[in-house]
Amino acid sequence: MIDVSEWSTGRRFFDSALSQQQFLTEYWQKKPLLIRQAFQNFISPISADELAGLTLEKDIESRLISYHDEHWQMRHGPFDDADYQQLPDKNWTILVQDVDKHVPDTASILEPFQFIPNWRCDDLMISYATQGGTVGPHTDSYDVFLLQAEGQRHWQVSDSALYDAEVVEVTSGLLQLQHLTGRGWCLEPGDMLYIPPHYGHYGVALSAGMTFSIGFSAPSYRRLLEEVFDNKKLSSSLNRLYSDPQRQVVYNNHEIEAEAINGIQQQLLSLLSLTEGVIVESIGRVVTETKASLITLATDFHLTASITAEEVTDFLRQGGELFKNPYYRFAWLQDRQAQQYYFFMAGQSYPIPLSCDKRWLEKLASASLWCYQDWQEMRQDPDLATLFMTLLNDGGWYYE
């Protein structure tokens, strides 16, 4: 079983002089970093033709961006063979989201990044570009590692974060920076560039090739607060009205007086104090939400009928295996105030007593398959067995 306490903060950060913790301390969300030959002798687990094949699928998010005769164009997939036959020899690129989920063989690319929590990892996006292919100068609100998989690509990166930079919509849905200055690098296969949030960056393919983008996102405060206030545990409190039993006579009838403002603020702050336990649960629900673009694909892995623990035992005893739904996100946490664990899957929360062995929660969140021995050991704890059966029947695991 995985024991995260054994992970070493002194472990080396790829082929650099930095440890993983030094990278986090000195560069993470602070400044860009180029790592030459981060992936030595790198061989892409997916070909350009296979990547293009994904863009033909209607449920897979993809884009085609081209620049011709000083005009930008961005189209969303699915595409067909005729679309590709009409393309010129250069100045275009395709981008495919969530390749790590669509093509499991590519998920191993994410393993060296496990020193960053899984709930922060968004996806592996892969782009293929012909010579001159680019999406233009832009910023992202998330951290991204840009691994050059094939070909050469030139990157220009701003010297600082650009929070209020001027942007222009060059074509529908494609925003680009009007101005970008900064340092430039040419990346060869195996080289990787880290870009913090809001740093401007501009990549142009010097030759046909692929770039792997490992993105790390985070929830917005707006989304977290929405989840907090949507929690059923707060519904009665939120429906209460402002009260002012100490009301005083007013002399300016249309003024919202300072006493009322202070009273409303105090009552809101009092309400927020009730959300402490709800916030803990809401964090887990938000960071494990399924992307809208992946919901249909995720439900394809749901069991067609509910299954019992006895049926699971029989199936696994005969050599069967259960596989994790690749489109769902899993996490867990300890709620110290409520004295319990929470397990999360696909935006749903499952409370678990503290008496359970948390190593099983980590394994449930990280393992990609479940066998008879796993099941026999875990089911010794009735609460964990109940959790697993709930996850299974809620679509988190499946069998072929």
- Check whether 2 has a pLDDT greater than 70: no
Q: Classify residue 340: in a domain, yes or no.
A: yes
Residue 336, judged by CB atoms within 10 A of its CB (0-12, 13-18, 19+), counts as exposed
264 and 305 share one domain: no
Tell whether 15 is covered by a domain.
no
**Mean pLDDT of all residues in 316-320:** 97
Same-domain pairing of 113 and 72: yes
The angle, 0 to 180 degrees and rounded to 10, between the axes of the packed helices 221-230 and 276-287 is 120
Distance CA 292, CA 347 (A): 12
pLDDT of 126 reads 98
Q: Specify whether 329 is located in the same domain as 225.
A: no
Residue 12 lies in a domain: no
What is d(CA 275, CA 265) in angstroms, rounded to the nearest whole number? 16
Over the Cα atoms of the chain, what is R_g? 25
Cα four-point dihedral sign 51, 57, 61, 63: positive
Which helix (H) or strand (E) is 370 found in, with range? strand 369-370
Q: Residue 275's pLDDT band (boundaries 50, 70, 90)?
A: confident
> Within this chain, do residues 75 and 138 fall inside the same structural domain, yes or no?
yes
What would the pLDDT profile of 207-259 be if each residue is shown by its tens digit? 999 999 999 999 999 999 899 888 877 877 888 899 999 999 989 999 999 99
Q: Do 267 and 287 fall into the same domain?
A: no
- The whole-number pLDDT of residue 72 equals 96
Residue 383: pLDDT over 80? yes
Q: When comparing pLDDT for 247 and 201, which is higher?
A: 201
pLDDT in tens, 99-147: 999 999 999 999 999 999 999 999 999 999 999 999 999 999 999 999 9
- Whether 249 is in a domain gets the answer no
Number of domains present in the structure of the chain: 3
Residue 138 domain flag: yes
Cβ atoms < 10 Å from Cβ of 389: 17
Q: What is the per-residue pLDDT across 165-189, written as a single tens digit (0 to 9) for each?
A: 999 999 999 999 999 999 999 999 9
Q: Are residues 232 and 267 in the same domain?
A: yes
Cβ partners under 8 Å of residue 272, min gap 6: none
CATH label of the domain that carries residue 93: 2.60.120.650
pLDDT of residue 269: 86
**Could you tell me if 138 and 161 lie in one domain?**
yes
Mean per-residue pLDDT, 256-263: 93
Per-residue pLDDT at 24 exceeds 80: yes
C-alpha dihedral (33, 39, 43, 46), degrees to nearest 10: -60
CATH of the domain at 314: 3.40.366.30
CB of 219 closer than 8 Å to CB of 168: no
Q: Are strands 209-216 and 121-129 parallel, antiparallel or unpaired?
A: antiparallel
Give 291-306 pLDDT, tens digit per residue: 999 999 999 999 999 9
The reported pLDDT for the residue numbered 10 is: 64
pLDDT at position 1 is: 34
Asked if residue 8 belongs to a domain, the reply is no
Confidence of residue 5 (pLDDT cuts 50, 70, 90): very low
Look at residue 100 in the predicted model and tell me its pLDDT. 98
d(CA 224, CA 68): 42
Query: What is the reported pLDDT for 230?
Result: 87
Q: Which domain holds residue 88?
A: 20-216
pLDDT in tens, 32-87: 999 999 999 999 999 999 999 999 999 999 999 999 988 999 999 999 999 999 99
Same domain, 205 and 238: no
339, part of any domain: yes
Domain co-membership, 198 together with 144: yes
**Phi (first) and psi of residue 375, to 5 degrees:** -65, -45
- The answer to the question of residue 94 being in a domain is yes
- Are both 210 and 291 inside the same structural domain? no
300 phi and psi angles, rounded to 5 deg: -65, -20
Asked if residue 261 and residue 212 are part of one domain, the reply reads no
Cis-peptide, bond into residue 78, ω within 30° of zero: yes
Which region among 109-118, 324-333, 335-344 has the lowest average model confidence (pLDDT)?
335-344
170, 96: one domain: yes
- Predicted model pTM: 0.91
Q: How far apart are CA 286 and CA 284, in angstroms?
A: 6
